[in-house]
Structures are given as structure tokens and as C-alpha cells.
Amino acid sequence: MRRAIVSCTATTAGVILLLSLKPHQDAGPTAVVGSGGGAGSPGAAAPSSAATGSAGSTGSVGSAGATRKVAGTAVNTRYGPVQVQVTLSGSRITTVDVLRYPTGDRRDREINGSALPLLNQEAIAAQSAAIDVVSGATYTSEGYIRSLQSALDQAAR
């Protein structure tokens, strides 16, 4: 009898805890960063055409050693869109700026504040989108990689 009461109480407590959890919103607020910013500087900069979801490139495209910026497509993740912009010198990746990333709550900002600089470093070191996901930031990492690959594909055209 005593065991049944303990089991019933534990089951009830577990159900109450599960029901009190709130699911994460699919398309929560995202940070939009201007062309001079990166993952470390979320802000409300005036969105450029690249930051509003349209992909494209700017800069000199004609010569092989020219510096140009190419925005990848915005990739929707479970926690919000992720979009990057790659700066290329010739075919070499010199910088990667994160234009959009999830900032729906404090945890999103905490995770992305540490994950995005790591992803930027890995992309520059690898000179491709063939990089590992950051543990604990899987959705952001996958969105980052897909957006980066789309930017590199556009740059190759």
C-alpha cells in the first residue's frame, strides 16, 4: 500500500512538471545586425537587403582578387532564422558576419553569444562550410552551415 501511494504521488508530480513546461516559440524574435557587426553585437541596425532575407552580393565581382560580400539565404530553424554574410578576397573567406540569429530569450542569447564566434572561427579556418556543429547549439549551427553554404554557392556563380 505504501509503495502504491509513493508511485502515485511521483507520477502525479511528474505529470504536473511536464504540463508546466512551455514549448519554445518557433519564430521568436531574432537579432538583425548591420554590415559592420557580427554575432557579438546584436542590435537594431537598419536592415540591408541582405538582412531582410534576400540573398545577394556586393562589392567588386569582376577581378579574381577583389573583395566582395555575399549574403546567404536566411535558414529557418526551430528557434528562429539564421543568416550569414561572407566576405571573400578572391575565393578566400576573410570574415563571416552573422546577420540574423535567434534571440527569443536569455538562453538563446547566451547560447548564440558563445556558439557563433566559434562557428565563425571554424568557417574561416576550414575555408568552407564543412564544419562541425557546436554542442548545445545544434539548431543554430545547422542553420549557420546551410546559410554559409548558400553564400559560398552564390559566390561561385
SS3 of residue 107 by DSSP = helix
Q: What is the DSSP letter of 137?
A: -
In a domain, 13, yes or no: no
Task: Kindly state the percentage of the chain with pLDDT values over 90.
Answer: 54
In a domain, 81, yes or no: yes
Mean pLDDT (whole number) for 79-87: 95
In a domain, 54, yes or no: yes
Query: What total of structural domains would you count in the chain?
Result: 1
Secondary element (H or E) of residue 31? strand 30-32
pTM for the model stands at 0.63
In a domain, 58, yes or no: yes
In a domain, 97, yes or no: yes
Residue 45: left if φ>0, alpha if ψ -120 to 50, beta else—which one? beta
Domain CATH number, residue 49: 3.90.1010
Q: Above 80 in pLDDT, residue 137?
A: yes
In a domain, 8, yes or no: no
In a domain, 35, yes or no: yes
Question: Beta partners for 57?
Answer: 70
- Please give the residue range of the domain that contains residue 81: 25-156
Summarised one tens digit per residue, pLDDT across range 56-69 is 444 434 445 689 99
